[in-house]
Amino acid sequence: MFCNQCEQTARSLACTSTGTCGKPAQVSALHDLLTYVLKGLALVVKKADSVAGQSGRSLVPSDTHPFLAKTLFATLTNVNFDPQAIAAWIHEAVERRDCLKTELSALAPEIEFSEAPLTFSPAHDLGTLTLQARAHTLKKEASPDEDIRSLQHTVLYGLRGLAAYAFHAAELGYRDPEIDDYLVETLCDLAHYERGDLGVWVGKALRLGEMNYKTMELLDRAHRDTFGSPRPTEVPLGVKPGKCILVTGHDLLALHRLLEQTEGKGITVYTHGEMLPAHAYPRLKAYSHLYGNYGSAWQEQKREFERFPGAILVTTNCLQEPRDSYLGNIFTTAAVGWPGVTHLADHDFTAVIERALALPGFSEEVPGKTVTVGFMHETVLSQADRIIDLVKQGRIRHFLLVGGCDGAKPGRDYYTRLVEQSPADTVILTLACGKYRFFDRDLGSIDGIPRLLDVGQCNDAYSAVRIALALADAFQVGVNDLPLHLVLSWYEQKAVAILLTLLYLGVKNIRLGPTLPAFLTPAVAQYLVDNYALRPISTPEEDLAAILA
């Protein structure tokens, strides 16, 4: 086993026996094999596209790209641990590949299918399939040059993150042919890992950042068109008596379908983790049984799920191994899976609802604080004139974007301390699950503008970028000349995609923690330091002093 794609990789090098995330070696091997056969599917899609270009008829079924997106998403950290589910996708990818090969051969017999991922034949039993997988690990299917391999893995991990956004957008009916083509193109590039020098792969990493920006923009549009533009909304953190369902993850459509199916059933729906910003969307908050937020970030789930007296629906990352105490209460959907946990397809949530009705629910009201969510780009930019005036008057001196993933490492309290120590003339924009470290702090406001603005999920990083670019425009300066500093925390591969987007946009001086990615070799990391002044976090005191200087 070799996996180094996330921040909690063993010894900050790689997980080589079992994942710190709980991913067994077999599942890791199957993730790698799935990636390999997806490259094979992409290679034949590319050939089919070139023939279609000549004949004017597309041979590629329209659900191919969403399939690529969903299955790449399944290999992201803490998404799918179910060997049977992954094996089924490996077989489906090969079936799709072979159907397309047959059609293509009939139309253009001169086309050759000699590249290795185009001829690979998967075994039907799981044991042999796992043995086959060992020949196609991510390390073997990449350049022998460690710096080029580092960039190829950066592109692959970024692609997994981008695929998550593309999957959510496609579910809502939003596709962009450029993004679909990009998924195929990049998988083909990764299949031809022997091609291209260091400079070429740096270019591909930045191209990923560009396409991730477009994908996040598409998802932002899909969310706003489908659920309405987010508005500041107060969310209770307490609970009320009654039957209940907890929904975690990022998938707003799954939440919407659950709200439709639970309407009038006497069940209260709570959000957890990255689902918190859902409360800001008018067409979601219109459901009166969507009540509040329970718990915090993903790494606290075992304790929080154990105490929750209802059913739990996991719509995306980050899933941890369920404890026996709530194994019967938890359900997965879409790309998520855990062996032994009931998986619900096609947004049919009957089983979750039945389980919620069978469980006791909360017996009494527990009052709690409230937090305000919904400061996505439209809301913040509707206040742009006031914000600009406050900056000109010197009442807002700094903007800090303190956002990104949460995780289990003790060093992550850096972010809490940074926020707590930031001066009163600082506005803090935050997003993603890392905000749970400080999301309920009362930081006050500056002339009615709250000092802590929740921009949403990691999926809403587009909003933060839009806000930064609009402020730069208003002050007629470059984004690096704004009194804005980015202090980011990363854990999984959506954060990798977002980081590449920021680099593509030319954003410099980003502080990244708790550690730099293990998949960056010293030479690649140095390239980022030299060209983007990317640096690891140090201490809140030191970093704040440097930022505010």
Residue numbers of the site for ligand SF4 (CB under 6 A)? 3-6, 8-9, 15, 19-21, 23, 28, 77
15 vs 276 by CB, closer to ligand SF4: 15
How many helices (H) and strands (E) the chain has is answered by 19, 16
Closest contact distance (angstroms) between CB of 157 and ligand SF3 is 13
Report the amino acid identity of residue 42: A
User: Distance between CA 217 and CA 304 in Å, rounded?
Assistant: 33
Residues 148-187: x/- map of binding to ligand SF3 (CB under 6 A)? ----------------------------------------
299 binds, among ligand SF3, ligand SF4, none (CB under 5 to 8 A by kind): none
Report the distance separating Cα 73 and Cα 69, nearest Å. Answer: 6
Residue 273 near which of ligand SF3, ligand SF4, none (CB within 5-8 Å, type-dependent): ligand SF3
Residue whose pair of structure tokens reads 């977002």 in the numeric block = 498
Select the binding partner of residue 524 from ligand SF4, ligand SF3, none (C-beta < 5 to 8 A, by kind).
Answer: none
| Contact between 432 and ligand SF3 per CB under 6 A | yes
Pairing of strands 449-450, 452-456: unpaired
Strand arrangement of the beta sheet that strand 484-489 belongs to: 452-456, 426-431, 398-404, 484-489, 511-513, 535-536
Shortest distance in whole angstroms from residue 82 CB to ligand SF4: 15
* Inter-residue contact 201 to 254 (CB < 8 Å): no
Smaller CB separation from ligand SF4, 77 or 262: 77
15 or 534, CB closer to ligand SF4?
A: 15
**Interacting residues with ligand SF3 between 456 and 495 (CB under 6 A):** 457-458, 491-492, 494-495
Spatial contact of 224 and 252, defined as CB atoms under 8 Å apart: no
| Stretch 316-335: interaction string toward ligand SF3, x if CB under 6 A | -xx-----------------
Min separation Cβ 317 and ligand SF3, Å: 5
Q: Which residues lie across from 342 on neighbouring strands?
A: 331
Tokens of 496: 């990798």
CB 35 → ligand SF4: shortest distance, Å? 13
Nearer to ligand SF3, 136 or 168 (CB): 168
Q: Is 487 exposed, middle or buried (0-12, 13-18, 19+ CB in 10 A)?
A: buried
With CB atoms as reference, the residue minimizing the distance to ligand SF4 is 19
Rounded to the nearest whole angstrom, what is the least distance from the CB of residue 491 to ligand SF4 in the complex? 9
Which C-beta is closer to ligand SF3: that of 201 or that of 490? 490
Instruction: Specify the DSSP class assigned to residue 383.
Output: T
Q: Smaller CB distance to ligand SF4: residue 26 or 501?
A: 26
CA distances from 437 to 103, 147, 169, 305, 407 (A): 54, 35, 29, 19, 10
Which tokens in the block code for residue 312? Answer: 């739990």
Binding to ligand SF3, residues 229-258 (CB under 6 A): 250
Q: How far is the CB of 107 from ligand SF4 (least distance, A)?
A: 41
Q: Which two tokens stand for residue 325?
A: 């105490």
Residues 6+ apart with CB under 8 A from 116: none
- Does a cis peptide bond (omega within 30 degrees of 0) precede residue 514? yes
In the bound complex, what is the minimum distance in angstroms from residue 460's beta carbon to ligand SF3? 9
**Residues linked to residue 398 through DSSP beta bridges, in sequence order:** 426
Among ligand SF4, ligand SF3, none, what does residue 93 contact (CB within 5–8 Å per kind)?
none
The minimum distance between CB 8 and ligand SF4, in angstroms, equals 5
The CB-of-78 to ligand SF4 minimum distance in angstroms stands at 7
Single-letter amino acid, residue 354: E
Containing H/E element for 85?
helix 83-107
End-to-end CA distance of the chain: 46
Q: Which of ligand SF3, ligand SF4, none sits in contact with 479, Cβ below 5 to 8 A by type?
A: none
Between 188 and 318, CB nearer to ligand SF3: 318
Binding site for ligand SF3 (CB under 6 A): 250, 273-274, 298, 317-318, 405-406, 432-433, 457-458, 491-492, 494-495
